[in-house]
Structure 1
């Protein structure tokens, strides 16, 4: 059996000024390398909180009955996790200077930095690794362009290359198609399918079932901070389950491995 990179046992995370609202409540879950998982749920379901647990940015309530392990450890270093987990978040798009050279955006992964990197020094090994990530994303011809001159889809591809620069064991994408037009979202979807097909362990965090590519083998549904369901896409992405998840009547239809969802008339 492959290694577990996230193990949650009856985990609680609280939010609010007086920590009275459960962002996650009694969540038990194990994610393993070698599998690709979609974490699906509406806004406020706990997806962002789960993502922060996964990346080590947040720790749960400490109590005897619960545990949270990343790569088998209850105590971890953020620097170590940065090398083992690559993360792409929508807000990262705006964190770079528009005048930044696109290749430098990828190189910045080795300093955990955002913004201009022209005064930073990078080793030959780091440059080779960044070039390899750029090649993998098929954007080598764009590396000398200014970041701000790239299309929204191209910028998203450079951010994925940045996340891949360390050759991480796990790649996490949070709402990856946010602010992308149809063409860019379609290209991104093809990229995700290629990444999964090439053996990457992928965690896709989304509110849209239609974003989940056919190569995803598992769906975890979150609602109100709890796991509503956990299983195969074919079993869970059905009209009844999705209607329960989103709290409104929905109709799901499968076409060529994709789940299409509409409001029920």
Structure 2
């Protein structure tokens, strides 16, 4: 059943003395995967942090922000309802941490060693299922530091899935991955998207927007300049304006392929 999990009206978000989001209004529901696309500095990270409850909008009479229908929220509860994967999470685990323990650590909201922690059989089963879902079961006993960048990223996705979140938010999921690892990552994410989960993909790369994502939001300088069905929003002239260079977009099996014009 569809539910509006994120709704903001006329939100200003400041990052220091910089107005990162300007008078932003947006509504997202759990029955539709969406991509938030923009160049570096567009405000994507600020919108992501607003969406996951890490930052709050400037208090103004015309401003409101709701997560799952609530204006006040508990961050611990949100972590069970919204799974978040960020590139910087990789550095939060020690190289000799067992990869399976990286996934299990989600149950304690912890980063770092889990050797002294005790986990229930049900928690271990859910972690095993999450690792199977992203195709890393055979790597579970390896040290985290021995894994490739793509394998580490897949374990972080498994970590975000253990609570069976209603929404999975992915921040630049293929950052620093080579071509093969990027393709493998996107295929695994397609499997997640084809299941019951809702994906919010935050990216600067139109080529990461998988066929299962129906809606695209374009951000520029902290403002939404387009929001709608993917094929209506992603057009050569619109992307050329967004990135400040001539681009040509073609479609192949639901993927948008962007090249210099």
The TM-score, its normalising length taken from structure 1, stands at 0.96
- Secondary structure of 1:205's counterpart equals strand
- Corresponding position of 1:154: 151
Contact in 1 for aligned 2:135/2:188 (Cα 8 Å) = no
Q: Which runs of 5+ in 1 are unaligned?
A: none
The equivalent of 1:164 in structure 2 is 161
Deviation readout 1:204-247 (Å, 9 max, x if unpaired): 00000011111110000000000010011111111111012112
Matches within 5 A, 1:95-244: 95-244=92-241
Larger CA deviation: 240-249 vs 188-197: 240-249
Shift of 1:22: 1.4
Equivalent residue, structure 1, for 2:9 = 9
Distance in 2, Cα, partners of 1:52 & 1:141: 33
Root-mean-square deviation (Å): 1.1
Q: CA deviation at 1:198?
A: 1.1
What is the distance in 1 between the residues matched to 2:150 and 2:15?
A: 34
Partner of 2:259: 262
Shift of 1:249: 1.8
User: For this pair of structures, how many residues does the alignment match?
Assistant: 261
CA distance in 1, matches of 2:92, 2:60: 37
- Cα offset, 1:146, TM superposition: 0.8
Following TM superposition, by how much is the alpha carbon of 1:199 offset from its aligned partner in structure 2, in angstroms? 2.1
Regions of 4+ moved over 3 Å: none
Query: What's the TM-score once normalised by structure 2's chain length?
Result: 0.97
Gaps of 5+ in 2: none
Distance 2:39 2:233 in 1: 15
Deviations 1:58-87 (A, max 9, x none): 000111101000000010010000110000
How far the C-alpha of 1:125 sits from its partner, in A, is: 2.1
Q: Secondary structure of the equivalent of 2:217? A: strand
Aligned to 2:56: 59
Structure 2: distance between partners of 1:146 and 1:28: 44
Task: String of CA shifts for 1:30-64, please: whole Å, max 9, x gaps.
Answer: 00001100000001101000000111100001111
1:29 and 2:62 aligned: no
Could you say if the C-alpha distance between residues 251 and 135 of structure 1 is closer, same or farther in structure 2, counting changes exceeding 3 Å? same
Greater shift, 135-144 or 189-198, is seen at 135-144
- Hey, what's the Cα distance between the residues in 2 that align with 1:58 and 1:123? 33
CA-CA distance at 1:183 after TM superposition = 0.7
